[in-house]
Amino acid sequence: MKALVYHGQDHFGIVERPKPQVTAATDAVVKLSKTTICGTDLHILKGDVPSVQHGRILGHEGLGTIESVGSGVSSFKLGDRVIISCITACGACHYCWRGMPSHCTSGGWILGNTIDGTQAEYVRIPHADTSLHHIPSATDTAVDEDALVMISDILPTALECGTMNGRITPGASVAVVGAGPVGLAAVLTAQLYSPVLVIVIDRDPARLAVAQRLGATHIIHAGADGDVVRRVLEITDGRGVDTAIEAVGIAQTFELCQDLIGVGGTIANVGVHGGKADLHLEKLWDRNVAITTRLVDAVTSPMLVELLAAGKLDAKALATHSFKFSDVEKAYAAFGDAGTSQALKVIINFD
Ligand SMILES: [Zn+2]
Ligand SMILES: [Zn+2]
């Protein structure tokens, strides 16, 4: 089979690899029909993720058809259409029982990290029963498959780490700092809770325009619209926001969230941070503020599939570009240079 393999910093390409086989009774092998690229994949290519060894097949998102299953798999059979979760869950360890399969002792984020991933014609999925989701059959509801790819990672990430951790309630004010794919998915999922204000802050006017289409009530072009904090205080009658969602992953934006948060508010960190950030307790200690962190557990994915099937989330808007798998390197170029290509999520289709 053809697979996209990481060969070390800035080196990757399609190579021929043996088709994966079921090696444990709880495994399934999935023939991919669609995959996509994540910001994490770009970090890997920069050499920022030391757990990824040279020779690893990249990717942790996608959907396809069950090709083979182990004898211990009960929920899936040959030919079933499935969505692959970025988080592999055994369903039985300490962390899985506590609802945190992102920390599963024999799973978590392993695809395209410590085991071969989804940017290949076939992928082996361990703990298949608790790590795959059925695609709603076309006879029930025809859900766009590009939108379903967003179930693999960015929709549950935005919902669990941003919207739910941010404790958005009806009538709340929300600031989303960063309008990349996950920040925009946070704009979508925040609206499930009926906030009255959704303020989106970014440096890219094209992404802000998308945020507005997806339901942002206010957009602030950082660097062009004057002082961001003053602008947010104007919009919120001087109170600051009830929820600030950090969806960038740098110190500057985490510190900005501390300036935007109102009394009783929650800062929900979604961004992946590679460095330290200052915590201004001298300003926050008496403001009844909570700060949350989380790695996506993908425990909301079955519910998100139902929301998509019911037409309650416009996730298709996040899929801006399509490529054939043979052009996957072009897909990486478009995704990596989003400022020029205006790419959000790039869908990669297999023959
Ligand atoms: Zn991802
Ligand atoms: Zn587990």
Ligand closest to Cα of 100 equals 2
Q: Kindly state the tokens that stand for 294.
A: 């989380």
pLDDT of residue 226: 86
Q: What angle do CA 29, 35, 41 make, to 5 degrees?
A: 105
Q: Which residues pair with 36 in a beta bridge?
A: 347
Give the domain 2-153+297-349 fold: Quinone Oxidoreductase; Chain A, domain 1 (3.90.180)
The residue to which tokens 């992953």 are assigned:
249
The token pair that represents 49 in the structure block = 């993720």
pLDDT at 141: 57
The SS3 assignment for 133 reads strand
The DSSP code sequence of 81-132 is: EEEEPSSB--SSSHHHHTT-GGG-TT-BS-BTTTB--SSBSEEEESSGGGTE
For the CA of 272, the nearest ligand: 1
Nearest ligand (C-alpha, residue 155): 1
**2-153+297-349 and 158-292 agree in CATH topology:** no
How far, in Å, from the CA of 94 to the mean position of ligand 2?
A: 7
Q: Which residues surround ligand 1, an ion (CB under 5 A)?
A: 38, 153
Which ligand is nearest to the Cα of residue 299, counting in written order?
Answer: 2
Alpha carbon of 172 to ligand 1 centroid (Å)? 28
Residue 41, number of CB atoms within 10 A of its CB: 25
Ligand sitting nearest the alpha carbon of 130: 2
Angle ∠(150,155,159) on CA atoms, nearest 5? 175
- Supply the pLDDT for residue 274: 85
Q: Which CATH number fits domain 158-292: 3.40.50.720, 3.90.1170.50, 3.20.20.70, 3.30.70.2740?
A: 3.40.50.720
The ligand that comes nearest to the alpha carbon of residue 96 is 2
Chain centroid offset of residue 241 CA: 24
**Ligand 1 centroid distance, CA of 223 (Å):** 28
Q: What's the pLDDT at 40?
A: 93
Structure tokens at 338: 């989003």
Residue 65 Cα to ligand 2 middle (Å): 24
Per DSSP, the chain holds a count of helices (H) and strands (E) of 12, 15
Report which DSSP code applies to 19. Answer: P
What's the pLDDT score for residue 295? 96
Which ligand minimizes its atom distance to the CA of 104? 2
Q: Say how many Å lie between the CA of residue 154 and the centre of ligand 1.
A: 6
Residue in the block written with tokens 């609206």 = 191
Question: What is the DSSP pairing of strand 241-246 with strand 261-269?
Answer: parallel
Domain boundaries, given as residue ranges, for the chain: 2-153+297-349, 158-292
Pair 347, 322: CB distance under 8 Å: yes
Residues of the chain with pLDDT under 50: none
- Measured CA to CA, the distance from residue 334 to residue 5 in angstroms comes to 18
Ligand number with the minimum distance to the CA of 86: 1
Q: What is the pLDDT of residue 140?
A: 56
Q: What is the C-alpha to C-alpha distance for residues 122 and 19, in angstroms, rounded to an integer? A: 6
Distance 186 CA to ligand 1 centre (A): 14
247: three-class secondary structure by DSSP: coil
